[in-house]
Structure 1
Amino acid sequence: MVAVIMRGSGEDARVGPVRWNGLTRGGARMLVHDDPASTVRRATDALIAAGFSDGGDTFATAIRDSGSEWVARDVRLGDIAKSRKRGVVEFFADGTGFDFFPRFWRGATPTVVVACARRTPEGAELIVYPHYSVRGGADRNDAAPLVRRAVEGLSNAYSASGALISSEKLLSIKNDGSPASQAVVREVLGWR
């Protein structure tokens, strides 16, 4: 399996022509012995270390001000305008041999990843889930290996400390009101 060749991070991330990101786009749900705020902070730090950029305070503030039981943050990858531009360049450079030069690499598929947690009787329920933009110039699942790396690192760290209660992959997410659901991301961030 060929992994993503990526340069830069966050909104400036560019992707090389040789890539295989896997078929799954999902995130993860974990139950951990920790408080929700610390859990979200650790998840956000892991996602940023994997190559995402901090989404700022807008989402976190909106969730807190809504009176939600959830604590949430968002991180981002790619930029819609850069992705479209690079998608056009990639189209014309594809197969010419020029696409292997970094100048012709396309912008990463625009993605928002939400990390959110709430208190449960067992500890904290953490959800990490990506949302790809339909307005970007490419839909190549670029964030998937980065999300997998961050989630695996979190799972290993919580497991090593004995704080991991359970962990499961999420191939999809219900619009159940959690900040990671598509409806909330669309309503609060206007993300499509």
Structure 2
Amino acid sequence: MSDQPEYMPVRHHEGSVAGSGERMRIAPLRWYGFSTGGGRFVVRTDPRSALRAAVAQLQAVGFALGDETFQRRLTESGSKWLAQDLRLGNIKESWKRGFISWVVEDTGLEFFRRFWRGAAPTLVVAAARETASGTELVIYPHTSWRGGSDQNDAAPLMRTTLAALADHFSNSGALISFEKLRGIKNDGSPASQAVVRAMLGWR
């Protein structure tokens, strides 16, 4: 596996979001479709480097880094995956901002940032492991059904992330394959819904 140059994250430049992590807010009249989706890379680099690049990119577009709980629980379960959870939005803030957006709708006030709605709570997992074909890197988001918004606010951030990583791995000669994921199987991967529900209580 080749040595990779230091990853330089790409920021999301669309003017429809403000802030990051729990404090991210979304401009009015924005809807990003029914499916957020993720991606799976196979690359010629070690799992730790691949995961580090993915996490740096997700942070650059506005996701907030989780603590070491997820990796510790994975290791204790015997998993060979390296993984990190990152988050967007806040359940209470999402409900509050959603209500405010409804109250000020069509008043003209909704275009001021203080009235933008809170981002739909989303947890995204980046996970990497070594395989016979190279390092497998999976990135997948899970929007919480407990949030006050059914919008896929993570969608443009995920598109920026996947495109930036694909360019990086391709330009450095490390990319073996890449596929977009419209869904993810509960196959034991840390990025699957079953694992984040069991280990992080995410719903």
TM-score by length of 2: 0.90
Q: Deviations over 1:35-60 (max 9, x none)?
A: 11211111011100111110111112
2:27 maps to which residue?
16
Deviation beyond 2 Å, 4+ runs, structure 1: 20-24
Within the candidate set 102, 105, 122, 2:113 is matched to: 102
Contact 2:89–2:122 (Cα < 8 Å) also in 1? yes
- One-letter identity of the residue aligned with 1:72: A
Whole-Å Cα distance in 2 between the matches of residues 138 and 47 of structure 1? 21
1:122 maps to which residue?
133
CA RMSD of aligned residues (A): 1.2
Unaligned ranges ≥5, structure 1: none
Q: Deviations over 1:6-49 (max 9, x none)?
A: 11011110111032424431100010001112111110111001
Q: Give the length in aligned residue pairs.
A: 190
Q: Deviations over 1:48-103 (max 9, x none)?
A: 01111101111121112211021100111101110010011111111221111111
- One-letter identity of the residue aligned with 1:25: T
- One-letter identity of the residue aligned with 1:41: R
Q: Counterparts of 1:37-116 in structure 2 under 5 Å?
A: 37-116=48-127
Whole-Å Cα distance in 2 between the matches of residues 53 and 164 of structure 1? 26
2:5 maps to which residue?
none
What secondary structure sits across from 1:129 in the alignment? strand
- One-letter identity of the residue aligned with 1:157: H
2:177 maps to which residue?
166
Contact 1:40–1:117 (Cα < 8 Å) also in 2? yes
TM-score by length of 1: 0.95
Offset of 1:182 from its aligned partner?
0.2
Contact 1:83–1:106 (Cα < 8 Å) also in 2? yes
Contact 2:33–2:151 (Cα < 8 Å) also in 1? no
Whole-Å Cα distance in 1 between the matches of residues 31 and 99 of structure 2? 20
Unaligned ranges ≥5, structure 2: 1-13
